[in-house]
């Protein structure tokens, strides 16, 4: 079996083998952008043969590596992590040539077709499609990434700064409204694939709860319980308060 990360780019859902993913992050640090001449590609734009104008809220940066290529791929969403059988097949005719290059292999999982992205083909195909197509320009990236960070922040509850600071000191209680805001924010984060293994390890979840499509109600309930527990911890005297922002 091979581990595959299901990602969304525009209208398309593709699989990327875990072994090609070096890192996964919601925001890129300015020093990462300045550190080299790394290119950032935007999956949705690449597949739609257009320039990246503005990334979707909640976009995720994947650092991919295959062969001599290392680059960042900005995807709209990380949907799920699945296991696929080793046996794959080629795309059937009359699949377009570009699709055959970019996703030469396809697999079936739970009666669904999964196109497997070949990371080594992202750069050649972007070049083939024309200057700037599918490319998230590094020069403008700092501003745009600021926008990503803004959007990510905006997707959370609009908790006033003062309230967060107050909570950090030592919250005496968590009111119902705050609790609901935190809960909805966390669920949204999880649904958008932002809560990855680096934040919430798979073994922290009860086994067999992550379904093929989306997140099961049981997992959501589990998260709600976790938030509830953490909120309770945050009001326990003598323990540092936890802030609930993004």
Residues at the site binding other proteins, with contacts judged by CB under 8 A: 11-13, 47, 49, 89, 91-99, 102-103, 106, 108, 111-115
Selection from 18, 3, 167, 203 nearest residue 175 by Cα: 167
CB of 144 to other proteins, least distance (A): 23
> Please, which residue, 51 or 243, has the CB nearer to other proteins?
51
d(CA 46, CA 145) in angstroms, rounded, equals: 18
d(CA 36, CA 81) in angstroms, rounded, equals: 30
> Please, which residue, 96 or 206, has the CB nearer to other proteins?
96
CB of 137 to other proteins, least distance (A): 21
Inter-residue contact 150 to 141 (CB < 8 Å): no
> Please, which residue, 31 or 87, has the CB nearer to other proteins?
87
Inter-residue contact 146 to 28 (CB < 8 Å): no
CB of 15 to other proteins, least distance (A): 11
> Please, which residue, 97 or 177, has the CB nearer to other proteins?
97
d(CA 200, CA 22) in angstroms, rounded, equals: 18
Phi-psi region of 238 (alpha: psi -120 to 50; beta: other; left: phi over 0): left
CB of 193 to other proteins, least distance (A): 19
CB of 187 to other proteins, least distance (A): 26
Inter-residue contact 74 to 136 (CB < 8 Å): yes
> Please, which residue, 10 or 57, has the CB nearer to other proteins?
10
């Amino acid at each position: 079996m091979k581990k595959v990360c299901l990602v969304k780019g525009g209208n398309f859902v593709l699989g990327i083998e875990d072994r090609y993913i070096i890192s996964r992050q919601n925001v890129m640090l300015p020093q990462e952008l300045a550190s080299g001449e790394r290119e950032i590609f935007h999956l949705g734009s690449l597949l739609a043969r257009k320039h990246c104008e503005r990334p979707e809220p909640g976009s995720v940066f994947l650092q991919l590596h295959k062969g001599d290529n290392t680059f960042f791929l900005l995807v709209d969403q990380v949907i799920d992590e699945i296991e696929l059988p080793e046996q794959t097949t080629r795309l059937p005719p009359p699949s377009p040539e570009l699709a055959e290059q970019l996703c030469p292999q396809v697999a079936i999982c739970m009666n669904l077709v999964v196109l497997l992205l070949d990371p080594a083909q992202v750069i050649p195909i972007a070049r083939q499609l024309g200057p700037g197509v599918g490319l998230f320009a590094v020069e403008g990236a700092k501003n745009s990434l600021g926008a990503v960070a803004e959007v990510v922040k905006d997707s959370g509850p609009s908790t006033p700064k003062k309230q967060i600071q107050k909570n950090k000191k030592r919250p005496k209680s968590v009111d119902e409204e705050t609790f609901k805001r935190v809960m909805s924010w966390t669920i949204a984060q999880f649904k958008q694939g932002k809560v990855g293994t680096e934040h919430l390890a798979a073994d922290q979840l009860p086994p067999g709860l992550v379904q093929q499509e989306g997140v099961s109600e049981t997992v959501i309930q589990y998260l709600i319980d976790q938030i509830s527990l953490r909120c309770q911890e945050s009001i326990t005297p003598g323990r540092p308060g936890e802030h609930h922002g993004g």
